[in-house]
Amino acid sequence: MEKSIDESFAVLTAHFTKSLAIEPMAPEGYSSLSLALIGDAVYDLAARYYVMSGGDRSVNQLHRMKSKLVRAEAQAVAADRIADGLSVREMAVYKRGRNTKTHTAAKNADIISYRKATGFEALVGWLFLAGRYERMMEIIREALRMDYE
Protein backbone atom coordinates (compact mmCIF):
# COMPACT_ATOMS: atom_id res chain seq x y z
CA MET A 1 0.00 0.00 0.00
CA GLU A 2 1.36 3.41 -0.99
CA LYS A 3 1.99 5.89 1.79
CA SER A 4 0.54 9.37 1.64
CA ILE A 5 2.85 12.37 1.59
CA ASP A 6 1.86 13.09 5.19
CA GLU A 7 2.84 9.55 6.26
CA SER A 8 6.12 9.65 4.32
CA PHE A 9 7.22 12.99 5.78
CA ALA A 10 6.05 11.91 9.24
CA VAL A 11 8.33 8.88 9.03
CA LEU A 12 11.22 11.07 7.88
CA THR A 13 10.76 13.64 10.65
CA ALA A 14 10.35 10.83 13.21
CA HIS A 15 13.69 9.44 12.02
CA PHE A 16 15.31 12.87 12.36
CA THR A 17 13.87 13.31 15.84
CA LYS A 18 14.92 9.85 17.02
CA SER A 19 18.31 9.64 15.28
CA LEU A 20 19.37 13.13 16.32
CA ALA A 21 17.93 12.68 19.83
CA ILE A 22 15.92 15.90 19.67
CA GLU A 23 12.42 16.87 20.69
CA PRO A 24 9.77 17.38 18.01
CA MET A 25 9.68 21.04 16.96
CA ALA A 26 6.44 23.03 17.10
CA PRO A 27 6.38 25.97 14.68
CA GLU A 28 4.88 28.36 17.24
CA GLY A 29 8.15 28.39 19.16
CA TYR A 30 10.21 29.81 16.30
CA SER A 31 10.75 33.24 14.79
CA SER A 32 9.84 33.94 11.20
CA LEU A 33 13.49 33.88 10.18
CA SER A 34 13.96 30.48 11.83
CA LEU A 35 10.90 29.19 9.98
CA ALA A 36 12.36 30.62 6.76
CA LEU A 37 15.64 28.80 7.45
CA ILE A 38 13.97 25.38 7.56
CA GLY A 39 11.56 26.33 4.75
CA ASP A 40 14.50 27.29 2.55
CA ALA A 41 16.10 23.89 3.14
CA VAL A 42 12.89 21.97 2.43
CA TYR A 43 12.15 23.99 -0.72
CA ASP A 44 15.75 23.70 -1.92
CA LEU A 45 15.66 19.92 -1.53
CA ALA A 46 12.35 19.73 -3.42
CA ALA A 47 13.77 21.91 -6.22
CA ARG A 48 16.89 19.74 -6.47
CA TYR A 49 14.79 16.60 -6.66
CA TYR A 50 12.54 18.23 -9.25
CA VAL A 51 15.38 19.23 -11.60
CA MET A 52 17.03 15.83 -11.25
CA SER A 53 13.77 14.15 -12.27
CA GLY A 54 14.39 15.46 -15.79
CA GLY A 55 17.30 13.07 -16.23
CA ASP A 56 21.00 13.06 -15.57
CA ARG A 57 22.83 16.21 -16.52
CA SER A 58 26.07 17.81 -15.49
CA VAL A 59 26.12 19.07 -11.91
CA ASN A 60 26.63 22.59 -13.26
CA GLN A 61 23.46 22.34 -15.38
CA LEU A 62 21.47 20.93 -12.47
CA HIS A 63 22.73 23.70 -10.20
CA ARG A 64 21.77 26.43 -12.69
CA MET A 65 18.30 24.92 -13.18
CA LYS A 66 17.77 24.65 -9.42
CA SER A 67 19.05 28.17 -8.83
CA LYS A 68 16.41 29.59 -11.18
CA LEU A 69 13.72 27.97 -9.06
CA VAL A 70 14.98 29.00 -5.64
CA ARG A 71 16.10 32.57 -6.31
CA ALA A 72 14.22 35.31 -4.50
CA GLU A 73 12.47 36.61 -7.62
CA ALA A 74 11.07 33.16 -8.44
CA GLN A 75 9.88 32.65 -4.88
CA ALA A 76 8.27 36.12 -4.91
CA VAL A 77 6.35 35.20 -8.07
CA ALA A 78 5.32 31.92 -6.43
CA ALA A 79 4.16 33.79 -3.32
CA ASP A 80 2.02 36.10 -5.44
CA ARG A 81 0.49 33.11 -7.27
CA ILE A 82 -0.45 31.19 -4.15
CA ALA A 83 -1.63 34.17 -2.08
CA ASP A 84 -5.30 33.91 -3.04
CA GLY A 85 -5.45 30.26 -2.03
CA LEU A 86 -3.94 30.67 1.43
CA SER A 87 -5.99 30.23 4.56
CA VAL A 88 -6.18 33.08 7.06
CA ARG A 89 -3.58 31.36 9.26
CA GLU A 90 -1.25 30.63 6.33
CA MET A 91 -1.51 34.24 5.16
CA ALA A 92 -0.66 35.44 8.67
CA VAL A 93 2.47 33.24 8.70
CA TYR A 94 3.46 34.45 5.22
CA LYS A 95 2.95 38.12 6.14
CA ARG A 96 4.84 37.75 9.39
CA GLY A 97 7.78 36.31 7.45
CA ARG A 98 7.52 38.88 4.70
CA ASN A 99 7.43 41.78 7.15
CA THR A 100 10.29 40.58 9.34
CA LYS A 101 13.24 42.91 9.29
CA THR A 102 16.37 41.08 8.24
CA HIS A 103 19.94 42.04 9.04
CA THR A 104 21.23 40.93 5.67
CA ALA A 105 20.69 42.35 2.21
CA ALA A 106 19.70 40.37 -0.83
CA LYS A 107 22.64 39.78 -3.14
CA ASN A 108 20.74 39.50 -6.40
CA ALA A 109 17.21 40.68 -5.63
CA ASP A 110 15.33 43.82 -4.81
CA ILE A 111 14.11 44.19 -1.24
CA ILE A 112 10.44 43.54 -2.12
CA SER A 113 11.23 40.23 -3.82
CA TYR A 114 13.58 39.29 -0.99
CA ARG A 115 10.90 39.91 1.63
CA LYS A 116 8.24 38.01 -0.32
CA ALA A 117 10.70 35.12 -0.66
CA THR A 118 11.35 35.18 3.08
CA GLY A 119 7.59 35.03 3.67
CA PHE A 120 7.27 32.12 1.23
CA GLU A 121 10.10 30.23 2.95
CA ALA A 122 8.62 30.95 6.40
CA LEU A 123 5.29 29.51 5.24
CA VAL A 124 6.96 26.36 3.89
CA GLY A 125 8.92 26.00 7.15
CA TRP A 126 5.81 26.53 9.26
CA LEU A 127 3.87 23.91 7.29
CA PHE A 128 6.80 21.49 7.59
CA LEU A 129 7.17 21.88 11.35
CA ALA A 130 3.38 21.77 11.82
CA GLY A 131 3.31 18.39 10.06
CA ARG A 132 1.05 19.74 7.29
CA TYR A 133 3.04 18.03 4.57
CA GLU A 134 0.26 17.58 2.00
CA ARG A 135 -0.45 21.32 2.09
CA MET A 136 3.25 22.13 2.03
CA MET A 137 3.68 20.00 -1.09
CA GLU A 138 0.67 21.65 -2.78
CA ILE A 139 2.41 25.00 -2.37
CA ILE A 140 5.78 23.64 -3.47
CA ARG A 141 4.23 21.98 -6.54
CA GLU A 142 2.61 25.28 -7.49
CA ALA A 143 5.92 27.09 -7.12
CA LEU A 144 7.91 24.49 -9.10
CA ARG A 145 5.42 24.19 -11.93
CA MET A 146 6.20 27.72 -13.01
CA ASP A 147 8.52 28.11 -15.98
CA TYR A 148 11.43 30.43 -15.17
CA GLU A 149 13.38 29.97 -18.40
Q: Which of the residues are catalytic?
A: 40
Q: What is the greatest pairwise CA distance in the chain?
A: 47
Rounded-to-integer distance, Cα 74 and Cα 147, Å: 9
Rounded-to-integer distance, Cα 50 and Cα 32, Å: 26
Contact call for residues 118 and 31 (beta carbons, < 8 A): no
